[in-house]
Amino acid sequence: MIIEGIELFGGQLTEKLKIRGGVSLKGEVSIGGAKNAVLKLMAAALLAKGESKIYNVPELTDVQIMLRVIEGLGVKTKYDKVNKTVAIEATDITSITAKYELVSKMRASFIVLGALVSRCKEAIVALPGGCAIGERRVDFHIKGLEALGAKIKIENGYVHAKATKLHGADIYLDIPSVGATENLMLAAVMAEGATRIQNAAQEPEIVDLANFLNTMGADVSGAGTSEIVINGVKQEDLHPIEYATIPDRIEAGTYMAAFITTRGKGIIKNVMPSHLTFFNSKLIKMGANIKLLEPSVIEVSCKQRLSAVNIVTQPYPGFPTDLQSLAMAMLTTADGVSIITESLYENRFMQVPELRRMGADIHQERNHALVRGVKKLTGANLKASDLRAGASLIIAALMADGVSEIESLHHIDRGYENFEEKFRNIGADIVRYNDDIVEPKLLQEGKYNEASI
């Protein structure tokens, strides 16, 4: 994919997926590093002088955008595709400005605000962009930074934060915002005294960030609970490190959904089951079988039609909003009626019109969706509106009778590494192609030549 003249991981905007549904998926799949963790670890690497290395980094467009954001600060970076490693040499930061053309493409890059304020005591960062799933304001970030002693101006689409020095503070978040928790953790690392973030987000990615910072020499405790305490340290206390990112729980949930909805059986490796406890409980209520084979290996299967369940998205450890669209796709052919309530983002039902085009019976009213299970879905031409909605359309297409085509793959490439290859390896009849170049044949027709795509 090309964004603002920069070549990124992923495909061109004219690329599409063609999927023939009705194939029972079987085999093994290995989960990559967590997108929502590694992007924040890359920003955290800015705090220590020297070269830090991050392992288990997925090949995603979002990773490449974050690399460009960091390079724009005068920091040297290198991505090793073979070993899935990012090296960040942050001895010198020559710019405090994260520019609009990149930050506006990916909300997570706003995390450099906290890192720059901590390290340089000043930052100029564009207001964030990303998937259009609803309002995600930066008020909590700003109020928290002000509590730490930063002076904030917002003008011309940029946040300008400046502090003579930062000091510890007690900060209460009105909602457990993941981004605000992470930004304030980074900002507080070198603040004088202790900072307490109350009603903090508790996601596994928050814990991973805290572990990264502590390995670097910071003093962070309480991550994974509603109160995080950061005792400020000095710049010279921080040192570059080598660190491996946790597995991506959302990617794991996606492949679990694929095996289950196609009535297949699969082994998923490099997964942390404890990160998916609530999701797993709902899958079991639907009728799926989940077996722990090893601490980081699970087996999932399902032989019968799924049963309806009700779902309410909640901050971690509740049901993840990032898996809501996948659950909806699964429930479109379940026995009975399901009610899904999206309590976090007002526009997170953007997959609904596309699922209806496949024959799904979904009635939506504000943040509630009533899903009445139908006998089957049928293939259709579909368009991904955002990352997670796009993933749900892949699941729906794998379930459906006939052939589906999905466009706007750049959304899906933001969060899923080599996903069509991984799906083919477990038996999916799926092809990526460029609409301007070739009209491919599907695998089952025996005429697909990957080299020609």
**48 vs 239: CA distance, rounded Å:** 5
**329 vs 423: CA distance, rounded Å:** 17
Catalytic status, residue 302: no
**178 vs 113: CA distance, rounded Å:** 14
Q: Which of 131, 216, 257, 394 is catalytic?
A: 131
**56 vs 161: CA distance, rounded Å:** 32
In DSSP terms, 298 is beta-bridged to 268, 292
The values of phi and psi at residue 235, to 5°, are -55, -40
Strand ordering across the sheet containing 122-126: 97-98, 122-126, 158-162, 151-155
**156 vs 207: CA distance, rounded Å:** 34
**452 vs 371: CA distance, rounded Å:** 41
For 27-38, the three-class secondary structure string (H helix, E strand, C coil) is: EEEECCECHHHH
How many residues make up the chain in this entry? Answer: 453
Angle between helices 204-216 and 35-44 (to 10 degrees): 30
Catalytic residues: 131
